[in-house]
Amino acid sequence: MKPLSRSPLIEWLYLGLILLAFGGYLTYLFYEDHDRIEARERDRLAHQGSVVAENLGRQLNAINLVLTGILNELPDWKKQKDGNRLAAQHLKALNDAMPEVRTLLILDRTGSVESADKPELVGKNFAQREYFQTVLRNPGTGTLYLSSPFRTILGHFTMNLIRMIPGSEGQFNGIVIAALDSDEFAILLNSVLYQPDVRASLVHGDGTLFLTAPSSNSVSVLDLLKPGSFFTRHMTSGQKANVFSGAVNTVGDQRMVALQTIQPVALSMDKPLVIAIERSIEFVFARWHQEVIKNCKLFGLVALFAVMGMLLYQRRQRAFASAKVCYEAERQQAVEAFREGEERFRSLTKLSSDWYWEQDDQFRFVRLQGQLDERTSAANKGHVGKTRWEMGAANLTEADWDKHRAVLQAHEEFHNFEHICPVDFIAKSSGYRQGHLESSTQHRKPAYPAVSSQTY
């Protein structure tokens, strides 16, 4: 097979560059769309986290006000004989008004329950509980303590918000507790699950998971306090809010997580809460992946058709070039044959005693050639561009011309057609002097005076 010339190679180069440029542009659009989706999802997760944080902040503030009110009324209750009963009634009324609080209770300095909104808790001692020991070891009159999540003796999983009861000199004299209702907080977390793969988690600042929505018995995807986990990175960053993306060690899938710390400065909380809103990256970019696959297939088809089109085009170009070469060769042969035929024709006319003419489609003379005498040859040159009947005839009537024209239009042969031209037409056509023509004509003694005769 004959190798491709430079031109086809350049055509392939141009096609490759066009496809490469088109593919690069598509890739740019893919990455731009990927970045746009990622930025939009990060903002959305962060916004959902801020919504939960704002609501939790208001609830924490409300609970803190309730605990402060209990501390303020506690001295009056203790002065009365039935103070514990009055305190229990008041705690019950407050609890009924606060769905986010499961239990309100008051513990003395020994850890025993003095009053509670649930009678079965009165008299119980919780001195060994971690939340009691934390306040006992680090007493603070203005601190709002947040205990780690734990399970109560009634079987509820909760966290306690605690305020210390100060003695006459500010010393530790017991605690007031508001146990949080995880079911109410789960309602808040479920309100931000805007896609099936979204999960929300509420985590204590020490890394203990309080609850997730939707509820799950599996370990949180945050991996909490493991080195390098999203939670650890957030807590060590010093930032109030962060958004992370990447692999989660425990589950092994790719997640995008927005974390926000809840620790209002006005409440002086000893430990923060952390809200985490997360999504599966696979779900976030599911539609994007479908679009990429669809467009890549489309690009592949375009490239395939372009290559096939180029192959077909170049095949036709080669066929056309080959046909052109053949045509040129045939044309050159025809030209040579025509030239040879014309030379032979000229040679024959020179040798022949006859003469020949050519006419156009209107029967006007185009060329006359043959063995002609000087006078006749000069006259015949004047015939060029004219028909026979335009030259006049001394021997033909109009009917004779009509008959002759009919023969010509039918493309039939004619013989012995005698055409006698007037001398004045010959003189005008040839440029001979009238006297010369007349003397010549008289010498020939024609049947018609002063005429020229031609027989076809």
Q: Give pLDDT tens digits for 233-244.
A: 999 998 999 999
What are the residue ranges spanned by the domains of the chain? 37-183, 187-287, 355-455
- In percent, how much of the chain has pLDDT > 90? 50
430: part of which helix (H) or strand (E)? helix 423-430
Residue range 37-183 forms a domain whose CATH class is alpha beta
Give yes or no for residue 100 having a pLDDT over 80.
yes
* Eight-state DSSP code of residue 129: S
Q: What is the pLDDT of residue 372?
A: 54
Better-predicted residue by pLDDT, 226 or 275: 275
Give yes or no for residue 341 having a pLDDT over 80.
no
C-alpha span between 43 and 241 (Å, rounded): 11
Q: What is the pLDDT of residue 171?
A: 92
Q: What is the pLDDT of residue 54?
A: 93
C-alpha span between 191 and 275 (Å, rounded): 13
> pLDDT confidence of 129, banded at 50, 70, 90?
very high
Better-predicted residue by pLDDT, 318 or 250: 318
- Is-same-fold flag (37-183; 187-287)? yes
Owner of token pair 């952390």: 274
* pTM for this prediction: 0.66
Owner of token pair 């467009």: 295
Radius of gyration for the alpha carbons in the chain, expressed in angstroms and rounded: 58
Residue pair 105/117 in contact by the 8 Å Cβ criterion: yes
- In percent, how much of the chain has pLDDT > 70? 82
How far lies 279's CA from each of 44, 227, 290, 362, in Å?
11, 21, 18, 92
Q: What is the pLDDT of residue 125?
A: 95
C-alpha span between 333 and 329 (Å, rounded): 6
Counting other chains too, the contacts that 127-133 makes at CB distance below 8 Å and 24 or more residues apart are 131/160, 131/162, 131/177, 132/107, 132/175
Q: How much is the mean pLDDT over the chain?
A: 83
Residue pair 233/219 in contact by the 8 Å Cβ criterion: no
C-alpha span between 69 and 87 (Å, rounded): 12
Q: What is the pLDDT of residue 306?
A: 92
Amino acid code (one letter) for 295? N
Q: Give pLDDT tens digits for 365-401.
A: 877 766 555 545 555 666 788 888 887 777 788 888 8
> pLDDT confidence of 435, banded at 50, 70, 90?
very low
Residue range 187-287 forms a domain whose CATH class is alpha beta
Give yes or no for residue 74 having a pLDDT over 50.
yes
Provide DSSP, 42-109.
HHHHHHHHHHHHHHHHHHHHHHHHHHHHHHHHHHHHHHSTTHHHHHHHHHHHHHHH-TTEEEEEEE-T
Give the 3-state secondary structure of residue 2.
coil
Residue pair 332/350 in contact by the 8 Å Cβ criterion: no
Burial 282-318 (b: 16+ CB within 10 A, else e): ebbbeeeeeebeeeeeeeeeebeeeeeebeeeeeeee
